[in-house]
Each structure stands twice: as structure tokens, then as C-alpha cells.
Structure 1
Amino acid sequence: MKEKKDLILQYCQENEIDVICIQETWLQPYINLTFKGYNMIRKDRSEGTKGGVLTCVKKHLHFTEWEIELQDHPDYKVEINGCRILQQDGSTINIINVYNANGNNSEIGGIIDELSKNIPTNEGLIITGDFNAHSKVWCKCDIVNSSGRSMEDFLLQSPICLATPNGLPTRKNHFTGGHTTIDLTFASPNLATRTTVTIPDHTLLFSDHSPIIIYIEGHNKSSSPAQLESTSTPHFRLKKANWLKYREQLENISIQVLVEAKTLIDDKIHVFQSNILTAAKKAIPLKGNSKRTHKNNIWWNTECEEAKKDYVKNERIYAIATSLENLINVKRSYARFRRTVFIARKTVLESFLKIKISENQQLKFTCLYARCKTSSQTKQATHL
């Protein structure tokens, strides 16, 4: 997970992803990990290795963490976490991140059903993750396991809808060249018709699982499919505020009329918030556009770009013609790319360390390098 962090973050920034759901993080509680620009919700595996789920939410989004406690079972390894995101229009979307490690888990459908019943019907719900569930309902294969049957029963008994298209190749077996659909997405009825689930054509995340992009229509002004609403709260110059004018604007708002209006409480909240913001914009000047332009990592150079293109090219050839020779070419180009990235990062680090050594002649290169390695691997427990 730590090795792929930079690639994941770069991909999410380039595609303006608002919420990131990752399964099989392999993180332990003592490992410190951060994603720049995101708040993190972690669920690490307490016993054993591998497993774990991670949900990252952009910092400008207002959210609360779901408190999910599952009874440990010796045979069924299930990790779940989630969040509840409050939109600026007053609506709410709940996102649940699931990793079901055992394909023979006949209880997974019941677990998801209990979680979905705790969500109010007027709130949106997205359930996504690696279920390791094989079924002919969503997978073009002849394999059906216990997790697949359990999720089939869940769909029959629940109003929750399957959003993943039938046969979407979410996982690729690099040895056989076959594809399966085990990474699933479910949506509540009020979001199902506006939810689109796709996978990108090519990514460089070095995983047998393809990243899944979930778009929800109707959360921005564009007519094309969009992600969760990402319009940030306006930033005001409070030092230059005209508080007297702001108070006069607030006095013009009739709270009594708003309370007695025969409308839904969500509509009343939306009108009240709009009136507050309108009054603030008239009396308090706004700051400039604070949207940052994300740049590539400092170590990314032309050699990394060429190695990436070579790997993508070989992967496309292997997808068209599955053979042992093409698979070897994919593996070799993958190894060359990893090596190129390692050398580029090492070169930048060495340049930085040499500058520090020139500032302090008493430090040796090996000593300073050891200090940096030690500080970067400091094991501290992190809690939200």
C-alpha cells in the first residue's frame, strides 16, 4: 500500500476523485500513512496479515465516520468501514467500503442487509468493495460460490440495487488472461438510476484488480455524469467584513415565516443556508480562487514517462493476444518501470541529502540517509 500511495494519489488528483475506497491495504495500526488533501478512515486487520480497508474523503467535504462493529469469525474475514457525507443542498450520501476475504462466506449477504437497514430511506447509499463473490447474475463465468449466493439472496430481499454492469472485468488473472467480476457496487433506489459504474481503459496501479469509478449524476451543474459534489464552501475575508451590513441583512430574513412554511425540513434547511450565504456575500468580500493545481511528483521525469508508456503498450498487446511471450513482456516492462521509478526517487533524495550535508559539514551522507530512513519508518498509531 505504501509503495503504491504516490501512484494512487496522483491518479485520484488527475481525475478529481472525491472519495477513495481501498481494500486489502495490508496496513497495521502502527503504520503511519497520509493522503494529501484527504481525511482518512482506516480499518486495519487486528490479527494476522493482509486485509484491511481504507476510505479517504476530500477535506472540503463534510462527513462523519460510521461506527461499524462486526463479530469476529475464525473462518470469515470481513472488514467494513464507511462515512456519511452531507451535501451543500442538504442531502446525505452514505458510503460503505467492504472487503470480504473469503469467497465461501455465506453470511456476507446478511451482514450487508443489516447495515443497509440502518440507513434512513431518504438518504442515499453506496456500497462498494471486494466481495470475492462469484455469481452468474453479475459475472460471465460458470463459478458460483457461497458469497455469491448470499449476495443474490440479499438482492432478492432488499430494495438495494446492483449498480455494477453484468460482466464488468474488475479483476484479471495474469496467468490465464481471464476476467471476473468480484468487485461490486450497490446503490439505494434513490441513487440507482443516477449511478454509473465503469473502469478506466488503462491504469498504472500494478494490481490484478481494476480501479472502479463510480459517477453520480445530478450533483453538479454539468449534464454529464459527475462525481459527488465537490464545490467547496466559499472563503471570506473576515478582516474586511462589514459586520453592520451583515447584521442588517440577517434581520431581513424572516425566521418565523420559514419555520411555519408547509415544506419539508430539508427544504427549510436549504433555504436557511442559502439566506445566510447570500447575506455573507453582500457584506463580506470573498477570497480569490483557492483551487490548487496539482503537479506531478518532483521525481517524475521523462524516463519514468517512457517506461510507463512501454508498460501500457505491452499490457494492451497482451490484452489483445494472450500468450506466454506477451505476458513475459508485460512482466519485464513492469519491472523496468518499477526500477526506473526507484532510481528517479533515489536520485532526488540523494540531491536533497547532499544539499543538507553542504549546509552542515559535520554530517556524513550515510548518517543523514539513515536518519531519513528512520524518521520515514516511524511506527505510530493513528486515530481519527
Structure 2
Amino acid sequence: MLVILQWYARSLVANGLEFKGYLNQMEEKLNVICVRESWLKPKLDFVIKGYVSVRRDREEGTGDGCVTFINSGIQYRMVGKGSEIYVVVEVWKEDKSVVIIHFYNPCKQMTLEEMKKIEGHSREMVIWCGDFNAHSNMWGGSVIDRNVQLIEEIMDEMNLICLNDRRGTRIDMRTGQEVVLDLTLTNSRLGGIIKWKVLRKCTR
């Protein structure tokens, strides 16, 4: 069984120590950790003991960035990473491989052509973990924005389903309300066996 956690960090520099404490409290061993808004720079390292990392940092300005941490006991290879802020890795578990596309959209208008250029998107065993900045009542949002149509096109073109169950995945810092921006997409083959849930913050 492959266990994946995705998290919106808003700076691993500021919140990384607390996140490591959270991981230490978890009873379940994680195989892959996808962290968005890492805010790391190429010369700044961030290590989680027992994991290797594949990063796509923002080279200019501040903010953005995503990091995929892979348990050091798991075989993997980097498939690709790009300026659209994504990291793609292929991991092996129990003699089967899964491509994990870790994607972050910093509030820009995306196109299907751009998304289809992402390495590994056409693989049969694929999981998208991402913040597409797409609000939709389909997965629990209160509004509908311009990126929703693109997500629907991606799901139709690539034969994907959304695993989100309408529960909030993040607290909006402006309103204090739960929002659904962190999506998990996969094909119907994996969707029938994957268990998806929202984890709440551990108490110390």
C-alpha cells in the first residue's frame, strides 16, 4: 500500500519545524509527501530524516515552489519538473509503479495544452496531487472560477476522477473558512482502491 500526504506549507522555513513534529506524531508511515508553497531557494536546503527530495523552487521573487519527499526505502526515479511549478516522480511499491504528478498553480490561467506537456500524464497508473487554484462546488467549493472548466477538460481527456469528498483541505487566511483547493485526481482503476481522507492537525 502506498501512503501519500499532501500539504500546503506557506513556507517550510517558517513552518517546517512544526511540520516535522507533526510527522513524528503520525502512527502511519508515509511513503511520499507532497509539499506546496515551500518557499525554498536553490541554495537553501530542507531535510526530512529518512526521505529524499525532488524540488522545483522559485528562482526569482518569493513564494511558490513544490517539493516531493520520497521515503528513502522506496525505489523511485524523477520523471520531470517544470517552470509551471510541478514535480513528477515514479515510485515502486510491491513490484508496481505509480507516477505521482505534484502540481501547483499560483493563480494563473492554465491551458489544456500546457497540462498535456507534463511528463507522465498519459501513464495508466497516475495520481495528481495538486493545488490547481480551481474553485468548484463539484468538490466542495462555494464558487466556480475560470480554471474549473480546464480541470473538467483534464479529467475528461485523461480519464481521471476526483477523490475529494467535499471536505475542506485548507483554511482561507482571509476569511477563516475551510476551502477546497488541494485536489487528488487519478484514474478509475486506482480510484476504486484508494482511500482518501483529510487529516486534522495533531495536538501536542
User: Normalization by structure 1: what TM-score?
Assistant: 0.46
How many residues align? The count is 191
Give 1:173's aligned residue. Answer: 172
Do 1:110 and 1:150's aligned partners in 2 also have CA atoms closer than 8 Å?
A: no
Q: Deviations over 1:330-381 (max 9, x none)?
A: xxxxxxxxxxxxxxxxxxxxxxxxxxxxxxxxxxxxxxxxxxxxxxxxxxxx
Cα distance in 2 between the residues matched to 1:19 and 1:181: 21
**How many Å separate the matches in 2 of 1:80 and 1:43?**
7
**Structure 2: distance between partners of 1:203 and 1:112:** 35
**Counterpart in the other structure of 1:130:** 131
The alignment partner of 2:115 has SS state of helix
Residue in structure 2 matched with residue 151 of structure 1 by the alignment: 151
Higher relative contact order (CA closer than 8 Å, sequence separation 6+): 2
State, as a whole percentage, how many aligned pairs show the same letter. 21
**CA distance 1:99–1:113, change in 2 (3 Å):** same
**What SS does the aligned partner of 2:85 have?**
strand
Larger Rg: 1
Q: Partners of 1:136 and 1:176 in 2: how far apart? A: 18
SS of equivalent to 1:191: helix
1:84 corresponding residue in structure 2: 90
Root-mean-square deviation (CA), in Å?
A: 2.1
Q: Match for 2:49 among 23, 33, 36?
A: 36
Structure 2: stretches of 5+ with no match in the other structure: 1-11
Give structure 1 stretches of 5+ with no counterpart.
71-77, 205-304, 306-384
* Pairs within 5 Å for 1:318-337: none
Q: Structure 2 residue aligned with 1:112, among 115, 120, 125?
A: 115
Identify, as 1 or 2, the structure richer in strand: 2
Residue identity in the other structure for 1:38: Y
TM-score normalised by structure 2 residue count: 0.83
**1:39-118 matches, cutoff 5 A:** 39-70=52-83, 78-88=84-94, 90-102=95-107, 104-107=108-111, 109-115=112-118, 118=121
Alignment partner, residue 9 of structure 2: none
Check whether the contact 1:85–1:92 (CA below 8 A) recurs between aligned residues. Answer: yes
Q: State how 1:97-246 maps to structure 2 within 5 Å.
A: 97-102=102-107, 104-107=108-111, 109-115=112-118, 118-121=121-124, 124-141=125-142, 143-165=143-165, 167-203=166-202
Q: In 2 relative to 1, CA 18–43 (structure 1 residues): closer, same or farther, beyond 3 Å?
A: same
Per the alignment, residue 20 of structure 2 pairs with 9
Shift of 1:172: 1.8
SS at match of 1:176: coil
Letter in 2 for 1:37: G
TM-aligned CA distance change 1:110 to 1:91, over 3 Å: same
Which moves more between the two structures, 132-141 or 47-56?
132-141
Q: Structure 1 residues 46 and 175, CA, compared in 2 at 3 Å: closer, same or farther? A: closer
| Cα deviations by residue, 1:79-103 (Å, 9 ceiling, x for unpaired) | 0002101223x2111111111001x
Q: CA deviation at 1:174?
A: 4.6
Q: CA deviation at 1:161?
A: 1.3
1:66 Cα deviation from its structure 2 partner:
1.6
